[in-house]
Structure 1
Amino acid sequence: MRAPHALAAALALLAFAAPAVAQDDARPRTWANPVDVDYKYNFEQTHRGISYRTGADPVIVLHRDRYFLFQTLADGYWTSPNLLDWTYVQPNKWPFESNVAPAAVSDGERLYLMQSAFEPRPLLVSEHPETGQWEWHTRILPPVPGAVSRNEEGSYGEGGLPEGKLPPGPWDPGLFIDDDGKWYLYWGSSNVYPMYASEIDPAPPMRFIGEPLKLHTLHPEVHGWERFGQDHSGGLPDGTPINPYMEGAWMTKHDGRYYLQYGAPGTEFNAYANGVYVSDQPLGPFEYAPYNPVSYKPGGFVEGAGHGSTFQDRYGNWWNTGTPWIGHNWTFERRIAMFPGGFTPDGQMHFSSRFGDYPQRLPTERVADPDSLFTGWFPLSYKVEASASSTRGEFSPDRAVDENPRTFWVADRNEAGQTLTLDLGATKRVHAVQVNFADYESGVFAERPAIRTRFRILASKDGADWQVFADLSDSDRDRPNAYVEGERPVDARFIRYEHDEVAAANLAISDLRVFGTGDGSPPAAPELRVIRGEDQRNALVRITPVSNALGYNIRWGVAPDRLYLTYQVYFDDLRDMGDQLEIRALNTGVDYWFAVEAFSPDGVSELSEVVRVPAR
Structure 2
Amino acid sequence: MRAIRVAIALSFCTTAAHAAQRTYANPVDIDYRYNFEQMNEGISYRTGADPAIVRFGYAYFMFQTLADGYWMSRDLVDWRFVKPDHWPFDSEVAPATLVAGGRLFLMQSAFSPRPLMVSTDPASGRWQFWTRLLPPVPGATQYDETGARVASGALAPGPWDPGLFQDVDGKVYLYWGSSDTHPLYGAQFDLRLGATEGEGKRLAFATAPKAFIHLDPANHGWERFGPDHTMGDRPAYMEGSWMNEHGGRYYFQYGAPGTEYNVYATGVYVGKGPLGPFEYAPYNPVGYKPGGFVTGAGHGSTFEDAYGNAWNAGTAWLGVNWTFERRIDLFPAGWHDDGQMWIDTRFGDFPQRMPDHRLRAGESTFAGWMLLSYRKPAVASSSLPDHAASTVTDEDPRSFWVARDNTAGQTLTVDLGGTPTVRAVQVNYADYRSERFGDAPDIVTRFVLQGSLDGRHWQVLADLSNESRDRPNAYIELKRPASLRYVRYVHGHAGAKHLAISDMRIFGNAEGPAAAAPVGVTAQRGADTREATISWTPVEGAVGYNVRWGLAADRLHATYQRFADQPTSITLRSLNKGVRYVVAVEAFNEHGVSPLSQTVVIAP
TM-score range, shorter chain: over 0.9
| Superposed CA offset, 1:185-212 (max 9, x none) | 0000001000000001111321001210
Residue-pair matches, total: 577
Q: Which residue of 1 aligns with 2:164?
A: 175
| Superposed CA offset, 1:25-81 (max 9, x none) | 943111100000000112464373022210000010001121000000000000011
Contact 1:409 1:509 (8 Å CA) reproduced: yes
Q: Is 1:30 the counterpart of 2:23 in the alignment?
A: yes
Using a 3 Å threshold, how does the CA distance of structure 1 residues 32 and 174 change in structure 2: closer, same or farther?
same
Contact 1:47 1:329 (8 Å CA) reproduced: no
SS in structure 1 at match of 2:126 = coil
Whole-angstrom CA distance in 1 between matches of 2:38 and 2:144: 22
Whole-angstrom CA distance in 2 between matches of 1:523 and 1:423: 22
Whole-angstrom CA distance in 1 between matches of 2:172 and 2:439: 45
Task: Determine which of 432, 438, 452 is the counterpart of 1:440.
Answer: 432
Contact 1:429 1:492 (8 Å CA) reproduced: yes
SS in structure 1 at match of 2:489 = strand
How much identity, in percent, do the aligned residues show?
57
Q: Is 1:140 the counterpart of 2:140 in the alignment?
A: no
Whole-angstrom CA distance in 2 between matches of 1:539 and 1:138: 51
Whole-angstrom CA distance in 1 between matches of 2:392 and 2:456: 22
Whole-angstrom CA distance in 1 between matches of 2:369 and 2:443: 31
Q: Superposed, which structure 2 residues align to 1:378-417 within 5 Å? A: 378-417=370-409
Deviation of 1:84 after TM superposition, in Å, equals 1.0
Q: Superposed, which structure 2 residues align to 1:283-298 within 5 Å? A: 283-298=275-290
SS in structure 2 at match of 1:309 = strand
Contact 1:27 1:84 (8 Å CA) reproduced: no
Deviation of 1:136 after TM superposition, in Å, equals 1.1
Contact 2:266 2:288 (8 Å CA) reproduced: yes
Using a 3 Å threshold, how does the CA distance of structure 1 residues 424 and 174 change in structure 2: closer, same or farther?
same
Q: Is 1:596 the counterpart of 2:585 in the alignment?
A: yes
Q: Superposed, which structure 2 residues align to 1:471-510 within 5 Å? A: 471-510=463-502
Whole-angstrom CA distance in 1 between matches of 2:180 and 2:325: 20
Using a 3 Å threshold, how does the CA distance of structure 1 residues 210 and 341 change in structure 2: closer, same or farther?
closer
Whole-angstrom CA distance in 2 between matches of 1:95 and 1:390: 43
Task: Determine which of 456, 462, 465 is the counterpart of 1:464.
Answer: 456
Paired residue type of 1:350: W
Contact 1:172 1:189 (8 Å CA) reproduced: yes
Whole-angstrom CA distance in 1 between matches of 2:240 and 2:486: 43
Q: Which has the higher contact order (CA 8 A, sep 6+)?
A: 2
SS in structure 2 at match of 1:306 = strand
Q: Is 1:228 the counterpart of 2:225 in the alignment?
A: yes
Q: For the aligned residues, what is the CA RMSD?
A: 1.8
Question: Unaligned regions of 5+ residues in structure 2, if any?
Answer: 1-15, 193-200
Contact 1:27 1:85 (8 Å CA) reproduced: no
Contact 1:352 1:370 (8 Å CA) reproduced: no
Contact 2:414 2:487 (8 Å CA) reproduced: yes
Q: Which residue of 2 aligns with 1:540?
A: 533
Q: Superposed, which structure 2 residues align to 1:24-63 within 5 Å? A: 26-43=19-36, 45-46=38-39, 48-63=41-56
Q: Is 1:377 the counterpart of 2:374 in the alignment?
A: no
Q: Is 1:218 the counterpart of 2:207 in the alignment?
A: no
| Superposed CA offset, 1:74-101 (max 9, x none) | 0000001111111101101114411000
Q: Which residue of 2 aligns with 1:117?
A: 110
Q: TM-score, normalising length from structure 1?
A: 0.91
Q: TM-score, normalising length from structure 2?
A: 0.93
Contact 2:34 2:437 (8 Å CA) reproduced: no
Whole-angstrom CA distance in 1 between matches of 2:182 and 2:171: 26
Using a 3 Å threshold, how does the CA distance of structure 1 residues 147 and 481 change in structure 2: closer, same or farther?
same
Task: Determine which of 570, 585, 596 is the counterpart of 1:581.
Answer: 570
Task: Determine which of 353, 357, 360 is the counterpart of 1:361.
Answer: 353
SS in structure 2 at match of 1:295 = coil
Question: Unaligned regions of 5+ residues in structure 1, if any?
Answer: 1-22, 236-240
Contact 1:64 1:108 (8 Å CA) reproduced: no
Task: Determine which of 414, 437, 457 is the counterpart of 1:422.
Answer: 414
Contact 1:354 1:371 (8 Å CA) reproduced: no
Q: Which residue of 1 aligns with 2:343?
A: 351
Whole-angstrom CA distance in 2 between matches of 1:545 and 1:369: 32
Deviation of 1:560 after TM superposition, in Å, equals 1.5
Using a 3 Å threshold, how does the CA distance of structure 1 residues 507 and 324 change in structure 2: closer, same or farther?
same
Whole-angstrom CA distance in 1 between matches of 2:162 and 2:72: 21
Q: Which residue of 1 aligns with 2:11?
A: none
Whole-angstrom CA distance in 2 between matches of 1:323 and 1:341: 15
Deviation of 1:614 after TM superposition, in Å, equals 1.0
